[in-house]
Amino acid sequence: MLIWMITMAISAPQVVEPDQINRRLSGQVIQVKDVVTSVLGTGDARQFRLKRAGNVIFRVGERGPAELRGNVAVTGTVQADGSQIIVDVQSVNLLPSDVDQFESRAKKIKEGDFAAWYELADWARQRFRLYNDSKMKENSLAAYAKGLKVERQAATGDIEKIRSLRRRLQDQDYLPTPDFADIDHELLWVQLEEKNPKSPPEINSFADEIAKILRGNAALPTTLSHQQREAYDRDPIRTYTNQKEADRPSFARFWEMKLRRRAIEEQVQSGELNAYQAADEAARLISDYPEVEKGWLEKAVQKDEQQLIRLRRRDVEWMTDHLKDRLKEPGRSDKIRRTWLTMMEDRIRKKESENADESKRAGRSNYPQDARARYDLAMIILEWYPDDKELDSHAAELLIEAVKIEPNYEQAGDVLRRLGYFRESSGNWLTPEQAANVKIGENQPRTVDIGMDEEMVQKILGNPDVRARVVTGPRQEQMQWAYRSLDRAVYVQFERNRDSQWRVSSIHGGSARQASEPTP
């Protein structure tokens, strides 16, 4: 028995690689596996060559299969015949093709065994390098990608496993385009859960990392649709993984936007920002998601609307300008301004009514009235609504009230004159329409006053000796009439009012009374 085992061991063929067959193996029995490249001769003269065995001739005769092709396992004795190396074949066994072997091995891999997929990928890659079969290259890449997918699934939520997978991708030089973005996205999500940043600087810093790693320096991508946002919110990792490479920056930007919005919310809650400032921050950091900015603006406006009576003029202007320019709601802006003006006037009159009641109880006939408040409110109306005749008329009514309360209130009187109003000797103020139709009677003082139009000045002083018009600025010009034939020269300065009519703005020189002999 021992002799038989020794004999078998001695006669057992030596396994060698095809390119290792040389003269030193002469007389030895070898076994080699390779791919048949050519077959010559028939019958006893049949011989073949192997792809990697160089010029070695394999004499097979009639032994072995009738058709020699593909992968084979050959057993034979090496013979050196001069410069030629010949292998006398004892047996030839046909082997499954590389593709068949790949598919067979793939079917046997257990679920979740990514190492087995990597091993199969390496084998297929080796076969491709040996025999340049493009199908085996495809199979190798497919097996490697399958291994990555399985390993990635096993690594979900485990930062160390994800990092290991990331290193594997970084170190390999075989896959044409490793999917770093997919791994990095999941790695960032796990890091976010681990770090759990809460302060605005920390949150924004993490958002910066997302932008740097997943978006790079590319321009802002397209914003996501409502359906895409919902899908990402439900399952961010899987949703991102299933996206095309060109679409992934949009999903990364959406995630970044959510973090920046969260940072702004933290700043508002801590009192670091008010709602208007939060809107400005949103416009600066996430302008491609304007609904965030508009949301904060709406909150700010609603808060101000609830306390409108307590707002100052500049606060109302701030709020309504935002409504008109940023929220694109001019109608709502105008309504709020008009409401505030009504509230301010009501407050003036309510306070005076309370003063009147108090004075009556105290037995006094007079009570305090606020001329300055009326003047201020009228000026706001004129500034806010320069082309609204109805409101301008109401502003004039407030100014007339102010002058009645304080007859020497020159500022109010000057504004009324610029508006085209005319003050009679009785103290009564005429509207521009009334002043245009008034006839200068014998018993009325014939003096030129600020606010008069050209016709009224001519009725008092006659035609001027000289008329001159001067442009003083963009869309601004003045006109001057000179009356040099009077006892003392008089110069009447005109400016255009809101109705584009010339009105007296100033008078210089002698008495602006009617000339005894007007210049014809």
Distance between CA atoms of residues 142 and 109, nearest Å = 14
Residue 365 vs residues 354, 356, 361, 404: alpha-carbon distances, Å:
14, 8, 10, 17
Looking at residue 291, its pLDDT comes to 94
Long-range contacts of 288-291 (CB under 8 A, 24+ apart): 288/220, 288/223, 288/253, 288/257, 289/223, 289/257, 289/261
pLDDT grade, residue 202 (50/70/90)? very high
Distance between CA atoms of residues 491 and 69, nearest Å = 121
Distance between CA atoms of residues 468 and 462, nearest Å = 16
Instruction: Work out the number of other CB atoms within 10 angstroms of the CB of residue 348.
Output: 18
CB 319 within 8 A of CB 299: no
Looking at residue 147, its pLDDT comes to 86
The pair of three-digit structure tokens given for residue 499, joined into one six-digit string = 């109705």
pLDDT grade, residue 1 (50/70/90)? very low
**Cα 280 to chain center, whole Å?**
13
User: Mean pLDDT, to the nearest integer, of 113-136?
Assistant: 91
**CATH class belonging to 8-95:** mainly beta
pLDDT grade, residue 231 (50/70/90)? very high
State the DSSP code for 211.
I
Does the pLDDT at position 368 exceed 90?
no
User: Mean pLDDT, to the nearest integer, of 350-374?
Assistant: 87
Looking at residue 520, its pLDDT comes to 31
Distance between CA atoms of residues 146 and 12, nearest Å = 40
Looking at residue 305, its pLDDT comes to 93
Does the pLDDT at position 260 exceed 50?
yes
Out of 27-31, 120-124, 213-217, least confident range: 213-217
Distance between CA atoms of residues 305 and 316, nearest Å = 9
User: Mean pLDDT, to the nearest integer, of 258-279?
Assistant: 95
pLDDT grade, residue 109 (50/70/90)? very high
Domain parsing of the chain, residue ranges: 8-95, 99-178, 190-306, 331-418, 430-509
Does the pLDDT at position 511 exceed 60?
no
Structure-model confidence comparison of residues 219 and 290, the more confident one:
290
Instruction: Work out the number of other CB atoms within 10 angstroms of the CB of residue 280.
Output: 18
Does the pLDDT at position 264 exceed 80?
yes
Looking at residue 515, its pLDDT comes to 37
Distance between CA atoms of residues 425 and 11, nearest Å = 144
pLDDT grade, residue 262 (50/70/90)? very high
Per the prediction, the chain carries an average pLDDT of 86
Looking at residue 278, its pLDDT comes to 96
User: Mean pLDDT, to the nearest integer, of 190-212?
Assistant: 90
Looking at residue 422, its pLDDT comes to 81
pLDDT grade, residue 258 (50/70/90)? very high
Q: Which residues pair with 503 in a beta bridge?
A: 453, 495
Structure-model confidence comparison of residues 48 and 511, the more confident one:
48
Does the pLDDT at position 512 exceed 50?
no
Looking at residue 253, its pLDDT comes to 93
CA angle (489, 496, 317) in 5-degree steps:
135
Instruction: Work out the number of other CB atoms within 10 angstroms of the CB of residue 300.
Output: 20
User: Mean pLDDT, to the nearest integer, of 343-348?
Assistant: 94
Over the stretch 447-476, which tens digit does the pLDDT of each residue have?
778 888 888 888 788 888 888 887 766 667
User: Mean pLDDT, to the nearest integer, of 27-54?
Assistant: 94
Distance between CA atoms of residues 47 and 1, nearest Å = 38
Grouping H, G, I as helix, E, B as strand and the rest as coil, residue 359 is helix
Residue 174 vs residues 99, 148, 171, 177, 507: alpha-carbon distances, Å:
20, 13, 9, 9, 94
Looking up tokens 């940072």, which residue turns up?
263
User: Mean pLDDT, to the nearest integer, of 190-210?
Assistant: 90
Looking at residue 174, its pLDDT comes to 67
CB 398 within 8 A of CB 375: yes
User: Mean pLDDT, to the nearest integer, of 90-115?
Assistant: 93
User: Mean pLDDT, to the nearest integer, of 351-374?
Assistant: 86
Looking up tokens 């003063």, which residue turns up?
355
Calculate Rg over the CA atoms of the chain.
Answer: 50
User: Mean pLDDT, to the nearest integer, of 193-201?
Assistant: 88
CB 203 within 8 A of CB 197: yes
Handedness of CA 355, 360, 362, 364 (dihedral sign): positive
pLDDT grade, residue 517 (50/70/90)? very low
